[in-house]
Structure 1
Amino acid sequence: MAEETLKQWFVLHTYSGYENKVKENIESRATSMGMEDHIFRAIVPEEEETETKNGKTKTEMKKTFPGYVLVEMVMSDESWFVVRNTPGVTGFVGSHGAGSKPAPLLPDEVDNILHSAGLSRRNHDTDFSVGEMVTIVEGAFSGLTGKVTEVDDEHMKLKVEIDMFGRLTNTELDYDFVDKQ
């Protein structure tokens, strides 16, 4: 679990139009170079955009930050080297050059970016089921355990029944706030 706390999100600058290719390259290089324990996820933040033209409504995904890719990783010399030398990556945002390590995104920044893209900050199993026991890991009820009473996969929310002062209470939580037992 100590490794979990070292995981941070970094922003990569890429050639414009190559964001998805860079994402694929990072994922395949992490696997082929045995870096799965240091390089976890690469994402290209996108938002759904609806446009009406000539009476026709068209919905498409637009890149939130063209020319940039987010990568979740444990920063080390090896992981920095693998990511930095991925084809299409021009550099880390927040790095001062000359091999200096970049500054990670702040947790609030990560939450906002991922939430707007409909993604979760934590990479976890999303197959929760009614009746399953979970531990709450964030928020006001952190440390409590409860039973899942409702699952909303579309909005990544759960209703969890917890014991508060001898009474069963239902609360709604984001997937990010719980871990399976």
Structure 2
Amino acid sequence: MIDPHHDGSERNWHAVFCKPRQDGVAESHLLNQGFEIFRPKTRVACTRNGRRRVSVESMFPRYLFVRLSQAGEDWTPIRSTRGAVGLVRLGQEAAIVPDPIIDGLRQRCNEAGVISLAGAIDYQRDDLVDIIDGPFSGYRALFQARSSQERVVVLLNLLKRERRIELPEVSIRRA
């Protein structure tokens, strides 16, 4: 994935390692300094105080990507940028993240820079799933279909009858 051997004549993507929960701070400060930055984000469901919340977080916590030229560009401000620790290195060389990886991530981003992980797991009809969130949490069901980009239909055996219910995809996992 990371190519340490490159000729250095063009601009390449590099990973920046950040302080804990500071990748957003590092991103804004690097942008203010004129660097080209990419920090993919995703929606994450969590339960706090008994309430289910969906928040947007970094897809790669503590990392972001910066595009730099191998020659002629001063990389030293990255190390002293608030929130950043420095470039990820392989030995003495700054590791290069291949363009197809960044391009693939960018293509999956929406207008807000958020990548939807819904649909990342390829469920098949009649796959056994556990419901892990919501009023049916703890039940097992059979996956039936995707009803929209982030919702699924499952078949739940409830009160001696099979019921089709629609749930957010983040509420199920493979049994």
TM-score normalised by structure 2 residue count: 0.48
Structure holding more strand per residue: 2
Greater RCO (Cα-Cα under 8 Å, separation 6 or more):
2
Greater Rg, structure 1 or structure 2?
Answer: 2
TM-score normalised by structure 1 residue count: 0.47
